[in-house]
Amino acid sequence: MEKFKPKIVINNAGFGQFGEFSKMDEEEIIGMIKVNIEALTYITRVAMEHMEKGYILNISSVASCHPMKNLAVYSGTKAYVEHFTRSLQRENTKNIRISYLLLGPTRTAFFEKANMPTKNIEKIMLSPEKVAKNAVEKLLRGKRRIVLGFLYKLYCFLR
């Protein structure tokens, strides 16, 4: 891996599961922690080790901004992503810009796979194409905390 010198790393792997914590399948809980926390942490570590300069964008969620009923594990793992990234921003001495995206509900298969109802949020869901374009633009401009959409900025500001 000596020749591995990434310029941009976007840690977008993750999944959620909607439901009451005490009734969730143990394997789902462990899987969510492994993907949302362990994999992101490992990828970030390897990237930073091999990067001379560049950008890292860790995908968190607006679910991390407030405790959320039926999303305890998911919102907890995404809070980790935010705090982990903010800590790295403070200790990073390399020429690497590290940012995090507090992603709002986006039109993807996430909700179906998480068994999460979308009835009340369909009208305010973000377009995945616009999310990708705007998040990368803000990353390349050096924005450290990225929240897309006024509603989601307000939601995360009011914590």
Query: Structural domain boundaries of the chain?
Result: 8-157
The structure tokens listed for 142 are 């050096």
| Residue 96, pLDDT score | 96
Task: Estimate to the nearest angstrom the gap between the alpha carbon of 129 and the chain centroid.
Answer: 16
pLDDT at site 115? 74
The residue behind tokens 């900025």 is 153
How confident is the model at residue 1, as a pLDDT?
A: 52
Alpha-carbon distance 129 to 158, whole Å?
27
pTM: 0.89
Of the candidates 110, 6, 12, the one whose C-alpha atom is nearest the C-alpha of residue 48 is 6
Summarised one tens digit per residue, pLDDT across range 101-134 is: 998 877 677 767 777 777 777 787 788 899 899 9
CATH architecture of structural domain 8-157: 3-Layer(aba) Sandwich (3.40)
Give the residue numbers annotated as catalytic, written as ranges.
Answer: 60, 74, 78
Residues with Cβ within 8 Å of residue 34, at least 6 apart in sequence: none
Instruction: State the pLDDT at residue 92.
Output: 84
From CA 122, how far away is CA 105, in angstroms rounded? 8
- Of the candidates 127, 108, 111, the one whose C-alpha atom is nearest the C-alpha of residue 119 is 111
Of 67 and 113, the structure prediction assigns the larger pLDDT to 67
